[in-house]
Amino acid sequence: MTQSSWRMPRWFHQMGSPKWFYNFGGLLQPWFAMAAFVLLTVGVVWGLAFAPADYQQGNSFRIMYVHVPAAILSQSVFLGMAVAGAIGLIWKMKIAFMVARSCIAIGATFTIIALVTGAVWGKPTWGAYWVWDARLTSTLVLLFLYAGVMALNQAISERQIAGKATAILAIVGTINIPIIKYSVEWWNTLHQSSSFTLTAKPSMPSEMYLPLLLMVLGSYFLFALIVLIRTRAQILQTQNGASWLMQHQDVSGAQ
């Protein structure tokens, strides 16, 4: 008796086709841009201007609306990069390596924003720009990991090998992510524990955490938008000369 084994759904392999990814990504791009713009604008204005002031920290807590989304994204992007790299290694998809490559710069930027805004927030509340507690140190290590992946990607001249090498490094570096996430639980840190989780109701009033939610969602859309733009740019670079691209309206002009 033969049994057909479960296969990955068709759309999964479809995404590995440069032509399909380019066209579908081109369709999604304006929508992601609009969503990111709307969510981030509403979130920023609401959070920085209209949300109620914190009874302990006054108005300085408002930097949370920039710091928390940046921190969340910095970790998610590294995970996304590692997952994309793993998909590329296992299913040998070039698109997956391109997606992973697109994640590096934006992830490093989010990490820098998180560290800098955190330092600015720390000065009025803790009295110090920097402490060597577990969460800050492991986020700094995350920045170094991004720098290492970026350096390795640029150092290897052959694109395919560079993609595989950065995928391996990203997968190895993923060990840092649970360390960052659970550092506030495992150690006595100065950094506060999570303001909200996926399952429990947050301890903040809704006027405070709704703009935060909008900022996090908007940042995710921004990240997706940038990955789409960069991956499509890499497709243009590497597929130069492919027949589907030469006849594409983006290259030859609308007929």
Minimum gap (Å) between residue 140 Cβ and other proteins: 9
Q: Does 152 engage in binding with other proteins (CB under 8 A)?
A: yes
- Contact residue for other proteins among 34, 45, 128, 151 (CB under 8 A): 151
Residues 102-141 contacting other proteins, CB under 8 A: 137, 141
Q: Does 190 engage in binding with other proteins (CB under 8 A)?
A: no
Among 109-117, 153-161, 190-198, 220-228, which window interacts with other proteins (CB under 8 A)? 153-161
- Contact residue for other proteins among 1, 49, 155, 254 (CB under 8 A): 155
Of the pair 4, 157, the CB lying nearest other proteins is at 157
Q: Does 176 engage in binding with other proteins (CB under 8 A)?
A: yes
- Count of residues that interact with other proteins, criterion CB under 8 A: 23
Q: Which two tokens stand for residue 160?
A: 């395919």
Nearest in space to 15 (alpha carbons), one of 78, 81, 88, 76: 88
Sorted by sequence, the CB contacts under 8 Å of residue 49 that are 6+ apart come out as none
Nearest in space to 149 (alpha carbons), one of 95, 100, 92, 114: 100
Of the pair 151, 246, the CB lying nearest other proteins is at 151
Of the pair 140, 242, the CB lying nearest other proteins is at 140
- Contact residue for other proteins among 173, 212, 227, 235 (CB under 8 A): 173
- Contact residue for other proteins among 42, 120, 131, 168 (CB under 8 A): 168
Residues near other proteins (CB under 8 A) are 89, 137, 141-142, 144-145, 147-148, 151-152, 155-156, 161, 164-165, 168-169, 171-173, 175-176, 179
